[in-house]
Structure 1
Amino acid sequence: MKLTKYTHACVRLEKDGRVLVLDPGNFSECGEALDGADAVLVTHEHTDHIDKPAVAGAMGGNPGLELFAPEGVAAGMRTEAPAAAGRIHTVEPGSAFEAAGFKVRSFGSQHALIHPQIPLVANIGYLVDDNVFHPGDSFTVPDGVAVRTLLVPLHAPWSKVAEVVDFVIAVRAPRAFQVHDGLLNDNGLGIVESHVRRIGAKYGTEYAHLAPREWVEV
Structure 2
Amino acid sequence: MWLTRLPLNLRSREVMRDLGDVQSMHSRLMSLFPQSDGEGARRSFQVLYRVEDAGDQPLQVLLQCALEPSVVGLPSDYLREAGGGYGCTSLLPLFERMTAGAPFIFRLRANTTKKIHSFDSDGTRRKNGTRVPIKDLELEAWALRKLEQAGLEVIDSQGGRQLKAVGEPNRFGFKPGGTKLTLASTLFEGLVAVRDADLVRLTLEQGVGAAKAYGFGLLSLAPAGDRGEP
Above 0.5 in TM-score?
Answer: no
The structure whose Rg is larger is 2
* Larger RCO (CA under 8 A, 6+ residues apart): 2
